[in-house]
Amino acid sequence: MTPTITAFESSPDRGRGLARDMRVRWALEEVGQPYEVRFVSFREMKEPPHLALHPFGQIPTYEEGDLALFETGAIILHIAQRHTGLLPQDANARARATAWIFAALNTVEPPIVEREQTRYAEGDKPWHEARRPLLDGRVRRRLDQLSSRLGDADWLDGEFSAGDLLMVTVLRRLEGSGIVEEYPNLSAYVARGQARPAYKRAFDAQLAVFTAASSR
């Protein structure tokens, strides 16, 4: 059964692959599972048919037969459990790779998102500049720790896993800030993820949506 995911009809990231459908596309490409994409507008995301799939009116969603899922982490975990290629076979290694999925989403991404959203929400407020070092510091603290753990390894725990897939996409959210570049091993780690053929296929597919929309 070919799964269907949802993505922005018109992504605010202008094809940079930062919206979360990119994570699901990449996972599906890694495991060789073809998929379809249904594009939704911001208005449609808040209407009953989409809210029935996603209680918070967001993308991505994932439909496969009578299964409907929301939350990128749950979708990636589902794909990784159903296919080979994103989780190790050994039970303990599988549990550790799962821990990295949660670490990416629950520990590393929140300060990155807070830094980003604060810029949008309070960028024009007088206190914003004074808060910047605090927000940047929280991000750097996590990246210091992540960089120490990664060391000179290629991936976080042995072979490439769903945990790496999510961590690479989380770190990409710092693009343009120069912060990841302060950590040469993390920069190389992100580049290694982006060099994977499955990443490139996923990136090109989401970019094609933006290119087609902007040529209309």
> Interface with ligand GTB by CB under 6 A: which residues?
12-13, 18-20, 45, 57-59, 71-72
Nearer to ligand GTB, 13 or 204 (CB): 13
Query: From the CB of 9, what's the least distance to ligand GTB, in Å?
Result: 11
Query: From the CB of 130, what's the least distance to ligand GTB, in Å?
Result: 25
Nearer to ligand GTB, 26 or 147 (CB): 26
Residue linked to tokens 């302060």: 182
Nearer to ligand GTB, 58 or 161 (CB): 58
Query: From the CB of 127, what's the least distance to ligand GTB, in Å?
Result: 24
**Which residue number has the CB closest to ligand GTB?**
58
Q: Residue 201, Cβ neighbours under 10 Å: how many?
A: 14
- Report in angstroms the alpha-carbon separations of 11 from 6, 16, 26: 12, 9, 17
Phi, psi of 135 (to 5 degrees): -70, -45
The number of residues in the chain equals: 216
Nearer to ligand GTB, 45 or 139 (CB): 45
Query: From the CB of 13, what's the least distance to ligand GTB, in Å?
Result: 3
Query: From the CB of 126, what's the least distance to ligand GTB, in Å?
Result: 26
Residue linked to tokens 């599906």: 28
Contact 196, 159 (CB under 8 A): no
Nearer to ligand GTB, 47 or 144 (CB): 47
Query: From the CB of 12, what's the least distance to ligand GTB, in Å?
Result: 4
Contact 87, 162 (CB under 8 A): yes
User: How do beta strands 67-70 and 61-64 pair?
Assistant: antiparallel
Nearer to ligand GTB, 12 or 151 (CB): 12
- Report in angstroms the alpha-carbon separations of 121 from 125, 127, 133, 188: 9, 12, 17, 31
